[in-house]
Amino acid sequence: MRRIILGALSFSVSAAAGANGLLDAYKLAQEQDQTFQAALHARDASIEARPQAWAALLPQLTATAEWQRIRSHQLSGNFSSSVGNIESGREYYSERSFTLNLSQTLFDWSAFQAVAQSDKTVAEAEATYRSAEQSLILRTAQAYFNVLSARDTLRADLDAQASYKQQLDENQKKFQVGLAAITDVRNAQASYDTSTALVISDRAALDNARRALGLIVGQPVDAIADLQQDIPLVAPNPVTAEAWSKAASQDNPDLMSSYYASEVARKQVAIYEGQYLPTLSAGGQFNRATQHAQSNDDSLTDSIGVTATWNIFQGGLVTSQVRQAKASYQQTLANYELQRRTADQNARNDFEGVMSGIAGIKANKQAVLSNQTSLDATKVGLRVGTRTEIDVLNAQQALASAQKSYYQSRYTYLDSLLALKQDAGRLNESDLAEIDGYVVATATASPPLSPAEMNIPEAPAAAVQSSTAPAAPAAPGPSPTPAPALKQPQ
């Protein structure tokens, strides 16, 4: 049963179903990410605000045609039953009419302000769409890096697991010939079992990260390309947080969207206030009517004129609408100020993230080298008797932790670099293309299941009846398959 469950964790679709590189993933995301598609259609819908606002100021032309069959029944008076269509006071006839109306607004302050508001609405929609574009770039990159980070963590823990397994086997052999204490075997077994649990957890995290990327690109993802071992570490240009904060205050798309939203609300106040004023329009009408009765009337009329309309009092409706619009405007101003402060804070935080990320990568790289040296020295010390098995296990664990920190620091740096450009409204596809140049050519799938994952140990490998005589250990199970080599940073 365990073999079936753990095998399911490693199930994945063909590598051909997923994107092999960061730029490939982004191309798919542009077409498949539904959050971005919703933003695209929202932008297209909002653009229609402009022609709709202008429609109220352009000529309005309507045509009406009518045909009626009329029965007239005279209830009293003198009439003859033998004349025309009149029979017993009833008359039947038809009537046709055609009317053409043309009107043109001359003055309507609310309509004028609605046109100005539509420009702000379109500008807000464009800014929101630009924000969605940049957000898609960042979300795709972060999801991609999350897969790589989870895979790197898995590889590091697999490497540590293989080392623990080797050490466990050595201690078991020493214990059988009386050269090691049972505590050394149990400590090695505990470290090995703990590493197995970590590997299982790592595989689940990797599967979750792949599914998150698949949600964005619209298809299952299995094999994606790794980053190169060493990536360029480039400081932001300009090199001051103040410069990036200033750029964010001018070009951050979320801030611009918030600004235009406040402008839309301000124009809404003017639209409602315009209802206090009269409206003026010019119009003309052409009408032709034909009545097929005794006289067969046929008439043609036309007219032209100017109409002034003034809604003097509507029960306090306009006054309430103005108060409501002013309150909404103040709300958008508060939202704009909040967004301005947020953009400033994010720009400064991400700038510091890039700068500290560069230092962190260098420090973590050196930490890997130092911990590798420490592990080698501890193993030598164990052979000459100056170090214990616990020291070796601790050194191995420290090396695995340093390796994971080093790999994670690279993705944190790249995330901060992209986020900083997004804060300033400068993030675009070329930035992904640049990072994609750091990606190796060959896509890599998940590491295979280790023997320990296929057959989790149920009990300690050896049991002791007394502190002096060793007992026969349990069968250790199959030897582990060597884990993928984890290259040490140069």
Higher pLDDT, 136 or 487: 136
Q: What angle do CA 292, 294, 298 make, to 5 degrees?
A: 45
**Residue 391, Cβ density class (10 Å: 0-12 exposed, 13-18 middle, ≥19 buried):** middle
Please check the confidence at residue 165 and state whether its pLDDT lies above 60. yes
- Residue pLDDT, tens place only, 222-271: 888 888 888 899 899 889 999 999 999 999 999 999 999 999 999 999 99
Q: Which architecture, in CATH terms, is 2-53+111-274+316-454?
A: Up-down Bundle (1.20)
356: confidence class by pLDDT, cuts 50, 70, 90: very high
pLDDT at res. 222: 83
- Residue pLDDT, tens place only, 57-98: 999 999 999 988 877 776 665 555 444 444 556 777 788 899
Which of 217, 244, 230, 242 lies closest to 419 in space, CA to CA?
244
Domain ranges of the chain: 2-53+111-274+316-454
447: confidence class by pLDDT, cuts 50, 70, 90: confident
Q: List b or e across 63-85, with b for residues whose CB sees 16 or more CB atoms inside 10 angstroms.
A: eeeeeeeeeeeeeeeeeeeeeee
User: Measured between alpha carbons, how far apart are the two ends of the chain, in Å?
Assistant: 43
pLDDT at res. 12: 34
Which of 415, 136, 133, 130 lies closest to 252 in space, CA to CA?
130
pLDDT at res. 455: 64
Name the H helices within 69-108.
Answer: none
Check if the beta carbon of residue 199 is closer than 8 Å to that of residue 192: no
pLDDT at res. 89: 61
The answer to which of 110-119, 182-191, 435-444, 474-483 has the lowest mean pLDDT is: 474-483
Please check the confidence at residue 461 and state whether its pLDDT lies above 80. no
Which of 269, 272, 258, 270 lies closest to 123 in space, CA to CA?
258
3-state SS of 309-327 is ECCCCCCCHHHHHHHHHHH
Higher pLDDT, 50 or 480: 50
Please give the distance of CA 281 from its chain centroid, rounded to a whole number.
48
Query: Dihedral of CA 445/194/482/461: which sign?
Result: negative
Length of the chain as a residue count: 490
The DSSP symbol for 275 reads G
- The overall average pLDDT reported for the chain is 84
- Residue pLDDT, tens place only, 336-354: 999 999 999 999 999 999 9
pLDDT at res. 291: 76
Q: Please state the pTM of the whole predicted model.
A: 0.79
Helix (H) / strand (E) containing 53: helix 49-55
